[in-house]
């Protein structure tokens, strides 16, 4: 089965991932504890975008995986 990474997601979905990740980066977190930092940031994304925590977490995770796949040359960046 050929690789189809990043092909299933439409451009507007990828744009939503990017928006969520930008909010994630500007979110306040705990500088001294990695796990609490990520949790606090994901909670902030959920509040800002009016999503459940699970939806926010999935958007962040999808964005990070998409960027890894771009780096590996498997997926294409957003045009």
The pLDDT tens digits for 24-59 are 999 998 889 999 999 999 999 999 999 999 999 999
Q: Give the pLDDT of residue 77.
A: 77
Using pLDDT thresholds of 50, 70 and 90, give the confidence band for residue 74.
Answer: confident
Neighbours of 78 (CB within 10 A): 13
In the chain, where are the structural domains located? 11-72
* Mean pLDDT (the chain, rounded): 88
């Amino acid at each position: 089965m050929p690789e189809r990474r990043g092909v299933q997601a439409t451009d507007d979905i990828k744009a939503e991932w990017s928006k969520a990740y930008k909010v994630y980066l500007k979110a306040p977190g705990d500088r001294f504890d990695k796990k609490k930092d990520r949790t606090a940031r994901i909670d902030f994304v959920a509040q800002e975008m009016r999503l459940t925590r699970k939806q926010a977490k999935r958007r962040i995770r999808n964005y990070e995986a998409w960027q890894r796949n771009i780096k590996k040359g498997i997926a294409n960046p957003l045009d």
